[in-house]
Amino acid sequence: MSDTQQGAGETASAPNPSPAGQPGVRPRTPLLPRRSYIPLTALVVLSAVMAGIGLASTRGWLDADAAVEASTPDSCRSDLAPGDPTIWTGPRTPESEAVFAENTTDLPYPGIPGRDGFVFWSDIQANNFSDMLGRAPWLDEQRDQWRDYFDDLRAGLAREGRDLIVVVAPSSGTVYPQMLPDWAQPLRGLTHFDQLLAVSGDLPIVDVRGDLRDASEDEWVYSAVNSHWTPYGASVAWESIGECLQDLYPDSGYDGLAEAEVASIETQAAPNEFAEWGVEAPRDDWTVPTLDPGPVTTTRVATDGTKSELAWPGGVDLLELPVTTTGGEMAKKALVVGDSQGTALSAFWAGSFESTFQIRHFLDDPSQRANVLHAARTSDADLVVFELTERYLSLQPPTILN
């Protein structure tokens, strides 16, 4: 795989639903493993029961007292309207679940065809399709655990003089909702990210969805057959991240971040995540920009000490992590905690900071989740970047101890 062609990164593995015995964490609806599904009639009955339980025990997104809308700088927010929360709650739940089951049962491969050649990962990939639709909304407790984790992380870092920014990389279905299949269009509900933002207050979260949607009107920011943003999409996100970071911490000297001015764009064949199942790409839609100026070439150091050049549009692949980079322009250090969406951003971080330490968050594997405070301490980071793909918000929240 070339540096300009990013693959799936995370493997399609069974998710880790929240254990039923954990306080405050909602037992999630079981996922649909490949070729093994809940019968439709049973699912409808279960949905009706769960709807009644949900309404009786919590109001979730309806808890007005808990709502503390984002109060971060305008550059950190988008003006996207949240989805309809009633689609997956209350009286509409059985009908919504029935339509979902009818169209996701006995899939020939772990992808769901959309419009205009788009294909989306099914729930076998960390609840991916359910998360795009806002299916199985959080209870208040689980939503608040995610908020509290980032709040506690920020506080712990601040005590040591470190900054935090949380980058949520949206799904392709969030940026291109019009490409979801026809049957899914009426099922676009309130997503986990929308719910988190509704109680986020001044948490340093950057919402890049609006800028990506705007950019998508002119160029592809996601491919039809790849769940990662294209290099051009990453450059759009980077501009949003940079503006937000400087506005969040105006006195911290982040004005030396690498720039992403696009001089030209080359369109290539996309790395097709669904090729092994015979899915053909509908077009060349992997957009690779030439940047002027681009991030400086830096040095990446693998865990075995092997050194190599890191130059845009190349990136640090998920499977290479942990990796250290040196040679960026600002006299600051960054810890980057992320997943495969961070690959296309890695050269920007490396080109901006004199050194970075880039590691996986392992949100999909609680036994390996990163101890972010410890990693920030050992890398002496001035800034911690926590990048996570949107669908991971559907998983069990981390705690500050792991």
- Half-sphere exposure of 293 toward its Cβ, with a 13 Å CA cutoff? 9
How far apart CA 90 and CA 62 sit, in angstroms, is 12
**pLDDT tens-digit readout, 74-89:** 999 999 999 999 999 9
pLDDT at position 139 is: 74
Q: Are 285 and 224 in contact (CB under 8 A)?
A: yes
- Give DSSP secondary structure letters for 73-125: -GGG---PPP-BGGGGSGGGHHHHHHHHHHHHTT-SSSEEE-GGG-EEE-TTT
Residues 6+ apart with CB under 8 A from 211: 78, 236, 237, 239, 240
Peptide bond preceding 27: is omega within 30 degrees of 0, i.e. cis? no
pLDDT at position 21 is: 31
Cα–Cα separations (whole angstroms), residue 237 to 123, 152, 159, 169, 214: 25, 26, 29, 8, 11
**pLDDT tens-digit readout, 193-218:** 999 999 999 999 999 999 999 999 99
pLDDT at position 196 is: 94
Task: Residue 60: name the closest of 31, 24, 23 by CA.
Answer: 24
Residue 325: CB atoms within 10 Å: 24
pLDDT band at 3 (very low <50, low <70, confident <90, very high): very low
pLDDT greater than 70 at residue 59: no
Task: Residue 259: name the closest of 227, 229, 303, 290 by CA.
Answer: 290
Say how far residue 119 (Cα) sits from the centre of its chain.
17
Q: Are 200 and 70 in contact (CB under 8 A)?
A: yes
Q: Are 291 and 261 in contact (CB under 8 A)?
A: yes
Work out the average pLDDT over 42-70. 44
Work out the average pLDDT over 34-58. 37
Work out the average pLDDT over 24-29. 32
How far apart CA 325 and CA 260 sit, in angstroms, is 19
Work out the average pLDDT over 323-331. 96
pLDDT at position 140 is: 79
pLDDT band at 396 (very low <50, low <70, confident <90, very high): confident
pLDDT at position 259 is: 87
pLDDT greater than 70 at residue 36: no
pLDDT at position 401 is: 64
How far apart CA 230 and CA 287 sit, in angstroms, is 6
Q: Are 176 and 285 in contact (CB under 8 A)?
A: no
Cα–Cα separations (whole angstroms), residue 2 to 207, 235, 285: 29, 18, 16
pLDDT at position 30 is: 33
Q: Which range, of 9-13, 197-201, 262-266, averages the lowest pLDDT?
A: 9-13
pLDDT greater than 60 at residue 4: no
pTM for the model:
0.84
**pLDDT tens-digit readout, 88-113:** 998 999 999 999 999 999 999 999 99
pLDDT at position 54 is: 38
pLDDT band at 49 (very low <50, low <70, confident <90, very high): very low
| DSSP 8-state class, residue 154 | H
Percentage with pLDDT > 70 across the chain:
82
Of 6-10, 184-188, 251-255, highest mean pLDDT: 184-188
pLDDT greater than 70 at residue 255: yes
Residues 6+ apart with CB under 8 A from 372: 153, 335, 337, 361, 384, 386
| DSSP 8-state class, residue 180 | S
Task: Give the H/E segment covering residue 384.
Answer: strand 383-389
Q: What residue has token string 């593995």?
A: 13
The dihedral of CA 351, 216, 167, 77: what is its sign? positive
Please state, rounded to an integer, the average pLDDT across all residues of the chain: 85
pLDDT greater than 80 at residue 402: no
Work out the average pLDDT over 113-124. 97
